[in-house]
Amino acid sequence: MLKTFRLFLLMTFMGIFLTLGSIAVSAASTKIPVQMGSQSLDGLIIEEKTYVSLVDFGKAVDKSSTLLSTSGGVHKISARGITVSAQLWNSYIEANGRCFYTETTCRIIDGELYVPIRPLAYIFNVDVKWNDSTRSVTLKDNGGVCKSADEVYWDGAVLWLSRIIYAESRGEPLLGKIAVGNVVMNRVRSPQFPNTIYSVIFDKKYGVQFTPVATGAIYNYPTDECIRAAKMVLEGTTVSTEVLYFMNPRIATSSWISKNREFAFKIGNHSFYK
């Protein structure tokens, strides 16, 4: 009975929290007009980003678009033959097997999930034009949808990048996971290192570069968030194009990085170096 009461209190608190979160977002937002041909959408400026309703945008590009699910806070719509999903408080949108970073988080406003407009527009091949003088947005629908994951991510890229992200940073925030992925991709582009994701991860020219390769943890299966982080990195999401090293100073067994490389920034438990 006591457990049931505690659960009731927890659920009540969560309901109040989500409601207040919605009210707070509404109070901090500014309404702006969004026009796509003859169709008008209710736009909002939140944290200097233009937001639109996921459902309304789907209807604007495809009259037959439907809301598939809102289970667990994950809102899914079907439009133009693909499924698009976004989740409350997450900072990404998924479509066609791909994952797009939104920078700011998705929000519930007046019972609907609002998402940043630009990644959503990219998914449906829609041009976005911001008019600073009128503070309005004009959309030009070019039709179609974004390419599928199979057409964009090359063989093994998501697999190995998500594995190194999981092995090195599974307990870190999303941005920290992305930064670890950036280190790998920055090395791929650098003449100092091999030129593929796999060869960078397993590089042993100057000794093993990543501890999980030595321990075998690189072969563990990654979480969904680590897979998403890998996809976002492959989409071009970048914390830094310069960092080539990272370390957790609390558990590092060597101080070579901190003594020989230039410190760039810290995210979570990891310090990143150029």
Give the confidence band of 131 by pLDDT, cuts at 50, 70, 90.
Answer: very high
User: Which pLDDT belongs to residue 118?
Assistant: 97
* Superfamily of chain region 30-149: Copper amine oxidase-like, N-terminal domain (3.30.457.10)
Which range is least confidently modeled, 21-30, 62-71, 256-265?
A: 21-30
pLDDT in tens, 99-114: 999 999 999 999 999 9
User: Which pLDDT belongs to residue 29?
Assistant: 83
- The CA distance from 200 to 182, in Å, is 12
Q: Among candidates 134, 145, 133, 131, which has minimal Cα distance to 57?
A: 145
Provide the residue ranges of all domains of the chain, joining segments of one domain with +: 30-149, 153-273
pTM higher than 0.85, yes or no? yes
Q: What average pLDDT does range 188-206 have in this prediction?
A: 94
Helix (H, G, I), strand (E, B) or coil at 211: helix
H helices then E strands: how many in the chain?
Answer: 10, 15
| Torsion on CA atoms 189, 97, 99, 39, rounded to nearest 10 | 130
Give domain 153-273's CATH number out of 1.10.357.10, 1.10.3720.10, 1.10.10.2520, 2.60.40.10. 1.10.10.2520
More confident residue, 24 or 158: 158
pLDDT at 256 exceeding the cut of 70: yes
Give the confidence band of 149 by pLDDT, cuts at 50, 70, 90.
Answer: very high
* Number of neighbours of residue 129 by Cβ within 10 angstroms: 10
Q: What average pLDDT does range 75-90 have in this prediction?
A: 98
Q: Which residues face 76 on adjacent strands?
A: 69, 85
Helix (H, G, I), strand (E, B) or coil at 109: strand
Burial of 71 (0-12, 13-18, 19+ CB in 10 A): exposed
Give the confidence band of 69 by pLDDT, cuts at 50, 70, 90.
Answer: very high
User: Which pLDDT belongs to residue 205?
Assistant: 82
More confident residue, 208 or 2: 208
Mean of the per-residue pLDDT values of the chain: 90
- The CA distance from 109 to 16, in Å, is 14
User: Which pLDDT belongs to residue 82?
Assistant: 98
User: Which pLDDT belongs to residue 21?
Assistant: 45
pLDDT at 179 exceeding the cut of 80: yes
User: Which pLDDT belongs to residue 31?
Assistant: 94
- Give DSSP secondary structure letters for 46-94: ETTEEEEEHHHHHHHH-TT-EEEE-GGGEEEEEETTEEEEEETT-SEEE
pLDDT at 19 exceeding the cut of 80: no
